[in-house]
Structure 1
Amino acid sequence: MGYNSLKKSLFLLLMTAGFSSYSQQDLKLQYNQPAVEWTEALPVGNGTLGAMVFGRVDAELIQLNEATLWSGGPVQKNVNPDAFKNLALIREALTNENFEKAYDLTKNMQGAYSESFMPLGDLILTQDFDGKKPGLYKRSLDIQTGLAVTTFTIGGVKYQREIFASAPAQCIVIKLSADQIKKLSVVIDAASLLRNEKSIQNQSLVLKGKAPSHADPNYIGYNKEPIVYDDVTGCRGMRFELIIKPVIKDGEISYDGDKIIIKKASEILLFVSAATSFNGFDKCPDSQGKDEHQFAESPLKKAAVQKYDSLLKEHIADFQQFFNRVSLKLNEKETNKSNLPTDTRLEQYAKGEKDAGLEALFFQYGRYLLISSSRTHNTPANLQGIWNNKLRAPWSSNYTTNINLQMNYWPVESGSLSELFFPLDEFIKNVSVTGAETAKSFYHAKGWVLHHNSDIWATTNPVGDFGKGDPMWANWYMGANWLSRHLWEHYQYTGDTAYLKKVYPIIKGAAEFSLDWLQRDKNGYLVTMPSTSPENKYFYDGKKGGVVTTASTMDIGIIKDLFENTIEASKVLNTDLEFRQTVSQAADKLLPFQIGSKGQLQEWYKDFEDEDPHHRHTSHLYALHPANLISPLKTPELAEAAKKTLELRGDDGTGWSLAWKVNMWARLLDGNHAYRLFKNQLRLTKDNDPEYSRHGGCYPNLFDAHPPFQIDGNFAGTAGVIEMLMQSQNNEIHLLPALPDSWTDGEIKGISAKGNFTVGIKWNYGKMSQAKIRSNMGGKCSVRALSPFIIKKLNIKSEKSSIGYTAVFETQKGMTYTLTPLK
């Protein structure tokens, strides 16, 4: 875990950036009944350990995860030696527009499936209340402190359970208490879906096990044994260990086999720790693995001798140093509904009742989840963050790199959580290593490549089980390029040239692969072939369905963006002039964006009809968001085409798809349309309930619903709110660029802009009343707003522009500049 490095980086940030901390209220999820479904339970996490708290009375269930617990082992090299033989044949077929043949041949260029994120186990706390029903029941999660609390009354006794996942203590801490002495009698047990052995050691419950050597994705059904434990290589299947240590006040402890029995205690503290033998993406988890027992036991020894209040205080201080940087208030004159249960609020919201407080809660929940799931070296938040209760989770709960992994980290910079980027940063370095081997063995190309699925082992080959997968999703080649944008953006937000120098070879490597991958078409343009537009199909020759094509618009947009960022990075570093010129020349020859017969931005090389006009992916609008090659300011004609594309796609979709569209409509400066999609993100969805399971939205615990649960929608929704209130592409800070009419009054503080600025904005009656911009490193600042404004102290007045008003001024490091409307 990266806690010590985070402390160091936080200290440096405090010294250099001086962010402010903002107090907030009413940031709780709360319910009047226990969770029945997993998507009703409440998540806590410290970046490595995750727990889902059900709040059950008689048999409390706390489902556990450990971020590094995955099936499998290091990836093998040259897994498909015959792959390259097909490449020229595919390109010939595409040149002849034999799309069916190209599709069949592309299957021959697939490798092994990625591995799966595994559940750790369950902690079960059983209390015998003789069948008595509880009263005054309540469970809650305070996302400003990371503390989950369950309270209820039985037989005149008030019981309370508190749980938090501490990063400083590196364990989960649970406190059971009652308002009368010696009323706590509990049986403590643990279970796991993985192969394991339980025992009592040193007055603790210990569960040891080993992960599978392989787990098929949940959508594969042709293998008799989808979960395999046998390891013929001796290098697959990591060990793991879970330890639960009780410390009690009053009462007595005894043991029944591998269960802990506590009777008549006045207070019980449970310390939960876990670790795996994972020792890096390229290390055998068994023979070269870490000592999981030492890593699990060490934190418990330290935590168990501390007082609960001290542990809680330390945890809250650590958590709030991230969380409290940003605050959001919306329509505070509205009726405050924070006293209502969250599921009730969602039901009322679905019926059209206003609840700006719920919208602000959902925004901050994304930041809460990122803080809770992105603090482990080499292990970024996966498709479900760090929370998973299934052996074969949806899509393996892996790293899906054709949108979903990237989406997880959209708010990390703008949401002022830049230090929490390091797990993705390290993961990108890992896949650049394995991706170089894949580029060489599959394509005989320089640089590195990443396809659409990866895992903790940095898998980069095109998955599909050597021809059984559909190229529609398996054979997509732009993952390295897209992830390289995150490296560049981290520099843009921090201004850290030393960092940029360190990661420039990775960005360059992605560009090198793209240079080798590009082919010249009959018109002299550089194009990609083969190419796909993730998970979508087109019609050709009437109603023939096509997948593999030449130069999907997404490919071209991603490569244009990569080349532009590579050129800028080399300029900043004053290096690599010859390569810069090569990239620049190639960029000039890339196929231009094309506008189709409906006025839309074409998704395909030709103006094909989509098989699904309302497809969840809007991949061809990558150039609009997350890139900024298309914008109303720079390219108004293409921006109109992007708008038409979104209109044709429609306003429905899966949870994460809705979130992407929020960001896109915000980039088009249409706040009302962005807000419409954002509201759809809050449509109540329930597992095993036909009335509430037919659409994307969110679950009762505010988890994003594809359905099923995918956490990327939570993170992208948070980023989308920031995009509505502030954008910082085009080398400027755009204040309230897409403010929806529904948010008449509000204030946001502490968000981050490129150039290392911290921004706060206040508005009334739909117009900015004040903005504050803090310069954390000095330099030029360009600001845009809808109405004229003046920069106090400097007495600089804005000037009319094609869109709103702008002002440019030099800043000094550490200074805050106040902007007010010009009357």
Structure 2
Amino acid sequence: MNLEIIKKTFLLLLLTSYYTNISAQSKDVLWYKQPAEFFEESLVLGNGKMGATVFGGANSDKIYLNDITLWSGEPVNANMSPEAYKNIPAIREALQNENYKLAEELNKKVQGKNSESYAPLGTLEINNSEKGKAVNYHRELDLSNAISKVSYEMAGIKYTREYFVSAPDKVMIIKLTADQKGALNFDINLKSLLKSNVEVRNNIMVLRGVAPIHENAGYSVLPKYLNLKDRGTRFTGLVQIKKTDGTITSSRETLTLKDATEAIIFVSVATSFNGFDKNPASEGLDDISIALENLNKAYAKAFDKLKESHIADYQKFFNRVNLDLGKTTAPDLPTDERLLRYADGKEDKNLEVLYFNYGRYLLISSSRTLGVPANLQGLWNPHLSPPWSSNYTMNINLEENYWLAENTNLSEMHSSLLSFIKNLSVTGKVTAKTFYGVDKGWAAAHNSDIWAMTNPVGQFGKEDPMWACWPMAGAWLSTHVWEHYTFSQDVTYLKKEGYPLMKGAAEFCLGWLVNDKNGNLITSPSTSPENQYKLADGFVGATFYGGTADLAMIRECFDKTIKASKILNTDADFRKKLETALSRLYPYQIGKKGNLQEWYFDWDDNDPKHRHQSQLFGLFPGDHITPLKTPDLAEASKKTLEIKGDETTGWSKGWRINLWARLWDGNRAYKMFRELLRYVDPDGKKTEKPRRGGGTYPNLFDAHPPFQIDGNFGGAAAVAEMLVQSDENEIRLLPALPDAWSEGSVKGICARGGFEIEMTWNNKNLSHAVISSKTGGKTTLVFGNYKKEIILKKGESIEIDI
């Protein structure tokens, strides 16, 4: 009998453990046992325009509010330095004479203003009248429905809060409940770090303010703005409470609810931003009317209807992809503890899936406004002076934000970037002529902002050329246009919008290239993003000629533009020019260490482990270096990565994981993926042994450090890259599958050619795959030695068992 009881008890324990793991090892929920104390512990919500950062405090809840269109400044004067290009011949002459020190100094003469800054809109505070100790506290963000929740008990009463930011209804909703009648008593305050004022009118709290104008010395303002008294982008924030019972009262700056059981807070924000080329003061939108209209429409609807339409809208994007990496034995832990455990080397496959899902969640939440892509912090910025202005850094970071748009089935989110590129092409035409002396095409440089600024930065000669002087953003960004076409097969887009942008970027590159002494085409002057060389005489500099990164981006730009012109059967003469120039580009060089040279000559790096690896652009995100097509260059790329090592910043890890995946080294990619998920303490947290460096904060935000969202996007993109790689002619399944993911399944990953993949694998072998065509087309399917050509009509699919 005793033995029977022991058996049953053991079986019960096993079942309990099994079901605990099933329920607790969530792939979709971030949860915590305590409120956020720091920004890097908060939970973020967004509808692609409005952002909310929720701390979830029991006695006092703090919510940072953002609007992705709230920036400092006004339309850029692209013609700020009309004769800057006249310095180019002197720089080229200094470089021809190998006088790098002089070239470095002269290069500073080809600099313009710095970018404007992304601004915080305001902070909403909900302060409870009763103060006490909260017990049974729980805070979560559910990625499956984009809803955050807080629950706790205080003095025997259970309180709950539910938060979401709705895309269809354009407002934030916060529902508060108490399980005892009349137990909700709170005040609401709203304030901004910007110049603003707050008042309550008719029980609606109204915040109105204006973003600052930051003009760097020497930046001439267009005459039509000089006579304006009011300048800068206006903004409005509105807050209203809908109650079931209790009493709403107000003072000049506070809304108060007393003796209620349930209440809904509506938050509506808007700005006067009306496009990159419209003055937001004189030609701006009516922000107060827009905010009020959205508030009134939402207020008139039932909470359940608002929630239902929010979830339906969000899930049509999020539910397209489902990833499973096999069984996990990881215990049920809050996300911060789970991350710490994982950082100790423990297994947690569902945390890896959670990180992937979080990347997709962040893109859906921060990239749904045309002409305004996700910035360095996506959508969520609490700082008046954010790191690096929270701008668009276009020598990697902006592009990395969008690596997961097409392959993880979020093509619509790419539109924010693609429409921004169109804006850049307008100001970029002026930049090409005035800064570089190139009459055709358009150029963009290191940084940009909401005003589509394209000039090289550096405050007119005050800053280091190693980052300030770099004109290749147009070439890089043009490849995103091609990516959108090749995944979507949208010929209409390519013809009307995409190809003219690609052609303009290629025209600039054609005009910018010069001959070296051997007749090869090179760029001069050149820099390799943010890196420096060290010469034998000890000189450290950044300005040189024939940069590998420049030429890799130009190769990719020319190659894709040639392909686009063939598809559209247009511009045969121009295509011939590109083909000729492509064949004359200075070839890749392999250095004495077996590495892919970054510099024209085999110079030493000033920092051999530098975070940028721009010379490897052709391997990823480009595709002209591959283990099959160019084995020598692939091997040199591998050697470059080995010399650089694996220890680097968050976004750089994201890039390196993709590079290792393209080298088909799944285990090295996975090693770095694990390091990307290394726990990092919040920036302001004081601990005895602080965990710093590149990695992941408690709320799964990427630590550069500080927070930069590009690592989240790059890391999520890399998971997809490990599972599926494709080009215009073939789809390679499980090309970089690590041993740790020996079994699993994925549904909804996209491949170039307009295909969608569903597959299952066991023991690292593909067992079943379904290939669907969105548009009709043919491709070759590759898995190991298995190859199969498939031709599908639009909407058709094929099942394959191996």
**TM-score interval (norm. to shorter):** over 0.9
1:82 Cα deviation (Å)? 3.4
SS in 1 for 2:514: strand
2:543, 2:230 → 1: CA distance? 36
2:307, 2:215 → 1: CA distance? 38
Match of 1:189 in 2: 189
Match of 1:226 in 2: none
1:435, 1:541 → 2: CA distance? 38
2:310, 2:38 → 1: CA distance? 28
1:202 Cα deviation (Å)? 2.7
Summarize deviations over 1:216-240 as a string: whole Å, max 9, x none. 7xxxxx99xxxxxx98765841110
Asked if 1:710 is matched to 2:708, the reply is yes
Asked if 1:515 is matched to 2:503, the reply is no
1:729 Cα deviation (Å)? 2.3
Alignment of 1:610-689 (within 5 A): 610-686=605-681, 687-688=683-684, 689=686
Summarize deviations over 1:366-417 as a string: whole Å, max 9, x none. 0000000001121100000000000110000000000000000000000101
Which moves more between the two structures, 763-772 or 465-474?
763-772
* Residue segments in structure 2 that go unaligned for 5+ positions in a row: 1-24, 219-224
* Structure 1 ranges of 4+ moved more than 2 A: 230-236, 688-694
**Please, which of 527, 531, 540 is the counterpart of residue 522 of structure 2?**
527
1:234, 1:448 → 2: CA distance? 33
1:805 Cα deviation (Å)? 2.7
Distance 1:419 1:77, change over 3 A: closer
2:690, 2:378 → 1: CA distance? 23
**Please, which of 341, 346, 353 is the counterpart of residue 348 of structure 1?**
341
Alignment of 1:331-730 (within 5 A): 331-332=326-327, 334-337=328-331, 339-445=332-438, 446-502=440-496, 503-686=498-681, 687-688=683-684, 689=686, 691-729=689-727
Match of 2:233 in 1: 238
| TM-score (ref. length: structure 1) | 0.92
1:195, 1:426 → 2: CA distance? 30
1:26 Cα deviation (Å)? 3.9
Match of 1:305 in 2: 300
Summarize deviations over 1:164-209 as a string: whole Å, max 9, x none. 0000110000001011111100100011100101111231100000
1:84 Cα deviation (Å)? 1.5
Match of 2:165 in 1: 165
Do 2:78 and 2:453's aligned partners in 1 also have CA atoms closer than 8 Å?
Answer: no
* Residue segments in structure 1 that go unaligned for 5+ positions in a row: 1-23, 217-221, 224-229, 787-803
Do 1:189 and 1:258's aligned partners in 2 also have CA atoms closer than 8 Å?
Answer: yes
Match of 2:22 in 1: none
Match of 2:793 in 1: 812
SS in 2 for 1:288: coil
Do 2:27 and 2:357's aligned partners in 1 also have CA atoms closer than 8 Å?
Answer: no
Q: Which amino acid aligns with 1:391?
A: L
Match of 2:733 in 1: 735
Do 1:693 and 1:707's aligned partners in 2 also have CA atoms closer than 8 Å?
Answer: no
Q: Which amino acid aligns with 2:143?
A: I
Q: Percent of aligned pairs with the same residue?
A: 51
Q: Which amino acid aligns with 1:539?
A: K
1:546 Cα deviation (Å)? 1.6
SS in 2 for 1:647: helix
Do 1:215 and 1:392's aligned partners in 2 also have CA atoms closer than 8 Å?
Answer: no
Match of 2:222 in 1: none
SS in 2 for 1:508: helix
Match of 2:44 in 1: 43
Asked if 1:749 is matched to 2:713, the reply is no
Q: Which amino acid aligns with 1:326?
A: V
1:59 Cα deviation (Å)? 1.0
Match of 1:248 in 2: 243
Match of 1:69 in 2: 70
2:230, 2:589 → 1: CA distance? 49
Q: Which amino acid aligns with 2:206?
A: V
Do 2:27 and 2:351's aligned partners in 1 also have CA atoms closer than 8 Å?
Answer: no
Match of 2:12 in 1: none
Do 1:119 and 1:390's aligned partners in 2 also have CA atoms closer than 8 Å?
Answer: yes
1:605 Cα deviation (Å)? 0.3
Match of 1:32 in 2: 33
Do 2:770 and 2:799's aligned partners in 1 also have CA atoms closer than 8 Å?
Answer: yes
SS in 2 for 1:389: coil
Summarize deviations over 1:585-624 as a string: whole Å, max 9, x none. 1111000011000111000000000011111000000000
Which moves more between the two structures, 681-690 or 750-759?
681-690
1:777 Cα deviation (Å)? 1.4
Do 1:73 and 1:235's aligned partners in 2 also have CA atoms closer than 8 Å?
Answer: no
1:198, 1:578 → 2: CA distance? 61
Distance 1:231 1:742, change over 3 A: farther
Which moves more between the two structures, 437-446 or 259-268?
437-446
1:749, 1:350 → 2: CA distance? 28
1:762, 1:243 → 2: CA distance? 49
Do 1:231 and 1:237's aligned partners in 2 also have CA atoms closer than 8 Å?
Answer: no
Alignment of 1:120-139 (within 5 A): 120-130=121-131, 132-139=132-139
| TM-score (ref. length: structure 2) | 0.94
SS in 2 for 1:214: coil
Match of 1:791 in 2: none
Summarize deviations over 1:323-361 as a string: whole Å, max 9, x none. 0000111122x2154x31000001101111110110000
1:377, 1:199 → 2: CA distance? 32
1:461, 1:236 → 2: CA distance? 22
Match of 2:214 in 1: 214
Match of 2:106 in 1: 105
1:732, 1:664 → 2: CA distance? 19
Summarize deviations over 1:532-585 as a string: whole Å, max 9, x none. 100000111332102101011100100011010110000000000000001111
2:607, 2:261 → 1: CA distance? 61
2:387, 2:26 → 1: CA distance? 35
Summarize deviations over 1:287-340 as a string: whole Å, max 9, x none. 0000001111111101111111111111011100000000111122x2154x31
1:625, 1:75 → 2: CA distance? 32
2:176, 2:575 → 1: CA distance? 62
1:421 Cα deviation (Å)? 1.2
Match of 2:204 in 1: 204
Do 2:26 and 2:354's aligned partners in 1 also have CA atoms closer than 8 Å?
Answer: no
SS in 1 for 2:69: coil
1:77 Cα deviation (Å)? 3.3
1:731 Cα deviation (Å)? 2.1
Alignment of 1:237-276 (within 5 A): 237-276=232-271
2:229, 2:277 → 1: CA distance? 14
1:569, 1:283 → 2: CA distance? 32
SS in 2 for 1:173: strand
2:122, 2:433 → 1: CA distance? 40
Which moves more between the two structures, 691-700 or 678-687?
691-700
Do 1:197 and 1:207's aligned partners in 2 also have CA atoms closer than 8 Å?
Answer: yes
Q: Which amino acid aligns with 1:115?
A: E
Do 1:435 and 1:448's aligned partners in 2 also have CA atoms closer than 8 Å?
Answer: yes
1:371, 1:551 → 2: CA distance? 39
**Please, which of 757, 766, 769 is the counterpart of residue 768 of structure 1?**
766
1:82, 1:281 → 2: CA distance? 24
Do 1:325 and 1:750's aligned partners in 2 also have CA atoms closer than 8 Å?
Answer: yes
Match of 1:78 in 2: 79
1:780 Cα deviation (Å)? 1.0
1:258 Cα deviation (Å)? 1.3
